[in-house]
Amino acid sequence: MYAIDLFCGAGGFSEGIIQAGFHIVYSSDKSEHVMETYKHRHEQLGMEHGKNTFFELADIRELEGDNILKKINGLKCFKDKTFSLGEIDAIFGGPPCQGFSRAGRRDPKDPRNMLFREYLRIINEIQPKYVVMENVAGFMDTVLSDFKSLNTEFLYNGDTLVSEILQNELKMIGYNVLEPTLLDASDYGVPQRRNRAIFIAYKNGEGKPEYPEPITPEPHHKITVLEAIGDLVECPESSALKNVEYIESSKRGRTKHVKGHFIEGKSDPVNHDFAKHSNSVKERFSLYLLEESTKVLENRIRTKGLDIQKYPNLLMECLFNANKDNNKQAIKEIAEKLNLEANIDSDSWLTNTHKLIAEMYVTEEKHDLENLNYLISKKLTGRLNCNKELAQTFYKYCKDRLNKEITKEKIIKSFSSGDVDNKLMRSLLTNKNSRIRLNIDSTSPTMLTLPDDFINPFEPRTLTVREMARLQSFDDSFLFKGKRTTGGKKRSEEVPQFTQVGNAVPPLLAKAIALEIKYALEKK
């Protein structure tokens, strides 16, 4: 059985397709970052570019059906076989979903929304026997206007549901379409509550496929976070994890090499590097109870109060955050008074100097005089562009002028009573309001693309790439390449490891869907 995988990403859908028994003869994505991961994985599995599979780095708008078939027919493994129109068994794909996602801005005018039209075009040009399209749940109830039909000049005027457009277009090019549905990945052995919109279509004359039946119909049968990642960290609960099938199959491997054997993960798991958090960040993460979100934590603090003195590093950070604007103005005035030659009009300089002074406060409170001397003589002198004596004077003036608007005593009293306004709460928890701590006794929420969206349930830190990959049902042998994460403007350009994992279709969900296509083909 031969398949094409478009918008393949790092290869989540591919893993499930291969596990179901398909041979992926062609795949494509436009990102060089995911290409590195995807091609490496397929080489691990014995799938060699140009020999028995073909990966094309391209925007789908650049692809043409006849060229895709030409590249498939050029594979060395097909010396005695030629694919013509209508002979590919299945095309799988998940066009980018940012414009449809309920978790994002959900912009109906996002140009990426139109990429599913290109997906339809390729389907029409190749005419596979079966078609599968996956997308976010928001795809089902998103509306578009002025969408141009594939084969005519007809425009879908007004507001038409994207799901209706997709069904109409598939029918016009000769496909029967199953009623679109939402599938929850946790019903198919994935330790994650992840709803995805699934569309399945089949050519006239082919056997009718079905949507996969849940394999874990009862909630208590679903794989928990503990059963998914509990072995990746030393914890009291680890003793109960011997012979847990999900963990063992992750280590052993679910995806076979082309020669038939499984690829085992290493004893020291790949992509399992811990983030380096400051003490204040660790203390902040430790505030969260299991399955507690930022909003719930805020309500608990306002209801029951918080003894913030138990978190000295966080208290100091909160103090500086609450006084940030006045502190930065004071720092600028002190620098002017001392005639420093630093770039004091730069907000970036003021912000970074403010952070350094806060670090020095914490160091001095710990009576770590050696480190304090280092911060003054090395870091502060460099930031101020002055000698050590002038840097010491600058720091002395800061101690006299900073943190006067909201004192430490006032912060302690406010948190103790629960009388915390929004400004002070943001000083404690930052503006990141989508954070949640995982619960070891339930499935995880939908994995996203940013590492600090989730707190590890066993330790006060973010998840590792491997932990997130386990929650997505990737094998431990699956290596994600490239940067671990990125930020700022690069976030729209790069696809680091966390994004590769978060954007992927969970392999076990993909396998369940692909098996239904396999069964339909076998019946025929």
Tell me what percent of the residues of the chain surpass a pLDDT of 90: 78
Task: Write down the pLDDT at residue 356.
Answer: 94
Residue 327 pLDDT > 60, yes or no? yes
Task: Write down the pLDDT at residue 108.
Answer: 52
Structure confidence at residue 273 as a pLDDT band (50, 70, 90): very high
Residue 169 pLDDT > 50, yes or no? yes
Q: Which of 84-98, 242-256, 306-320, 461-475 has the lowest mean pLDDT?
A: 84-98
Residue 217 pLDDT > 70, yes or no? no
SS (H, E, C) 137-163: HHHHHCEECCEECCCCCCEECCCEEHH
Which has more confidence, 297 or 242? Answer: 297
Question: What number of helices (H) and strands (E) belong to the chain?
Answer: 20, 14
One-character DSSP codes across 27-66: EEES-HHHHHHHHHHHHHTT--BTTTBEEEES-GGG--HH
Segment 18-32, tens digit of pLDDT: 999 999 999 999 999
Task: Write down the pLDDT at residue 102.
Answer: 46
Mean pLDDT for 316-342 is: 93
Mean pLDDT for 185-194 is: 96
By 3-state DSSP, what share of the chain in percent is helix, strand and coil, each rounded to 5?
50, 10, 40
- Give dist(CA 295, CA 425) in Å, integer: 11
CA angle 500, 286, 298 (to 5 degrees): 90
Structure confidence at residue 489 as a pLDDT band (50, 70, 90): confident
Task: Write down the pLDDT at residue 405.
Answer: 92
**3-state secondary structure (DSSP) of residue 329:** helix
Q: How far is CA 521 from CA 82, 90, 207, 430, 515, in A?
A: 19, 10, 7, 53, 10
Structure confidence at residue 93 as a pLDDT band (50, 70, 90): very high
Task: Write down the pLDDT at residue 45.
Answer: 97
Looking at every residue in the chain, the average pLDDT score rounds to 91
Residue 290 pLDDT > 90, yes or no? yes
DSSP category for residue 125:
H
Residue 241 pLDDT > 90, yes or no? no
Give Cα 49 to chain centroid, integer Å.
27
Structure confidence at residue 308 as a pLDDT band (50, 70, 90): very high
Segment 35-70, tens digit of pLDDT: 999 999 999 999 999 999 999 999 999 999 999 999
Q: Which CATH number fits domain 2-219+502-523: 3.40.190.170, 3.40.50.300, 3.40.50.720, 3.40.50.150?
A: 3.40.50.150
Task: Write down the pLDDT at residue 456.
Answer: 96
Residue 361 pLDDT > 70, yes or no? yes
Mean pLDDT for 218-234 is: 86
DSSP category for residue 444:
B
Q: Are 123 and 131 in contact (CB under 8 A)?
A: yes
Q: Are 162 and 113 in contact (CB under 8 A)?
A: yes
Segment 140-152, tens digit of pLDDT: 888 877 778 887 7
Segment 105-151, tens digit of pLDDT: 545 555 555 788 899 999 999 999 999 999 988 888 888 777 788 87
Residue 357 pLDDT > 80, yes or no? yes
Task: Write down the pLDDT at residue 101.
Answer: 45
Indicate if 97 belongs to the active site.
yes
Task: Write down the pLDDT at residue 98.
Answer: 53
Residue 486 pLDDT > 50, yes or no? yes
Each as own residue / partner, the long-range contacts of residues 482-489 (CB below 8 Å, 24 or more positions apart, any chain) are: 482/33, 482/36, 482/37, 484/273, 484/451, 485/450, 485/451
First to last CA, the chain: 12
| Strand 2-6 versus strand 90-93 pairing type | parallel
Segment 373-414, tens digit of pLDDT: 999 999 999 999 999 999 999 999 999 999 999 999 999 999
- Give dist(CA 201, CA 180) in Å, integer: 10
Tell me what percent of the residues of the chain surpass a pLDDT of 70: 95
- Burial code (b: 16+ CB inside 10 Å, e: under 16) for 136-175 equals bbbbbebebeebeebeeeeebeeebbbbebbbebbeebeb
Residue 197, φ and ψ in degrees, nearest 5: -80, 125
One-character DSSP codes across 212-233: PPPS--SGGGSPPHHHHHGGGS
Residue 231, φ and ψ in degrees, nearest 5: -85, -10
Question: Out of 8, 77, 97, 318, which one is annotated catalytic?
Answer: 97
Task: Write down the pLDDT at residue 414.
Answer: 97
Contacts of 81 (CB under 8 A, 6+ apart): none
